[in-house]
Amino acid sequence: MNSLINAFQRCSLEFKDFDAIILIRGGGSVADLAIFNDYELAKTMALMPIPVFTGIGHTRDETVADCVASMSFKTPSEVAKFILDRALDFDSKIDNLKQRILHKVEAFLNTEISKNQSLQERFKLAVRNSGEKLSQKMNLIVSEIHNGILKKVHSEKEFLFSLKQNLHKKTNYILKTKEVEITNLSNRVKMKMRENITKGNFTIKSYKEKLFTKLKNTLALKNIEIERLREKLHLLSPENILKRGYSITYLNGKVLKNSQEASIGAKVQIQLYKGKIYGQVINKEEDYGEPKLF
């Protein structure tokens, strides 16, 4: 009896952990039902914060406990049946709710997914389109730049080529001009040198000629002098004098130059050009003035 009340009180202390309290009895006599009519028990049961189900006995054996209980059943199996039905009901309700939630969520998700997908598709398309457009634009720009660069390079090449040609032409022109100048200079130098050499040769020749003329003249003068001397000597030579008819008279081996020196009768020798005559002085004439032949 007290153990029942204690159990109820313990349950009421921890009622949050329980849904309901079941009070059942496994058969017996009517006398055994007396405790279920107790006031204290009935009060405790009535004051319980959670429902109390009873399954104590048959309908004719209804107790106070059955009366204060939230619901009373004839047998424990009926209680069990009731609870199971309730649980089943609840379960099916929850299942239904679960299904509905699932459906809702699924539908929501599906719509969201489809929305998302379409957005994604649109985004993809847009991205692809813009990418393509961008790449086309880029390609265009790149090809333009490429063309521009090629053009620039080509024009630079042409410019360089023309510069090169110009340089070549100018260099050739300068080289040719310089060559002509050098040739002219060299010709002038050659001419001048030839002129100088000719002049020098001429000078040398003239000097040579002068020298030889001088020497020849000197030699000729000497010859003339010698000739003059020879002539003089010839003229003065005794043979020449004798040849012209003159003769030399010797008196005592001495040349007789004055008739005063020879006395009458003296013997004289007369030298002729050819031969000698020996003679005697027969007569003589004396001359005191200047020697005069005739």
Partner 1 sequence: MENLSYSKAIEEIEEILKYIESQEVDVDVLVEKVKRATELIRFCKSKLKTAEEELHKTLIELEGSNLTEEEPF
The torsion defined by the Cα of 162, 165, 170 and 172, in degrees rounded to 10, comes to: 180
Q: What's the CA gap between 172 and 155, in Å, rounded?
A: 25
From the number of C-beta atoms within 10 Å of its C-beta (0-12, 13-18, 19+), residue 154 rates as: exposed
Q: Which is nearer to partner 1, 46 or 262 (CB)?
A: 262
Q: What's the CA gap between 179 and 80, in Å, rounded?
A: 137
In the chain, beta strands by DSSP E: 21-24, 52-55, 71-73, 248-251, 254-255, 267-271, 276-280
Q: Which is nearer to partner 1, 17 or 290 (CB)?
A: 290
Q: Which is nearer to partner 1, 155 or 240 (CB)?
A: 240
Least CB distance to partner 1 at residue 230 (A): 5
Least CB distance to partner 1 at residue 202 (A): 11
Least CB distance to partner 1 at residue 267 (A): 18
Q: Which is nearer to partner 1, 176 or 216 (CB)?
A: 216
Q: Which is nearer to partner 1, 174 or 215 (CB)?
A: 215
CB 45 within 8 A of CB 8: yes
CB 52 within 8 A of CB 70: yes
List, in sequence order, the alpha helices (H) in 51-75: 64-68
Least CB distance to partner 1 at residue 290 (A): 13
Least CB distance to partner 1 at residue 269 (A): 11
What are the φ and ψ backbone dihedral angles of 167, each rounded to 5 degrees? -60, -45
Q: Which is nearer to partner 1, 97 or 215 (CB)?
A: 215
Least CB distance to partner 1 at residue 204 (A): 8
- Note the residues at the interface with partner 1 (CB under 8 A): 190, 193-194, 197, 201, 204-205, 208, 212, 215-216, 219, 222-223, 225-226, 229-230, 232-233, 236-238, 248, 255, 257, 271
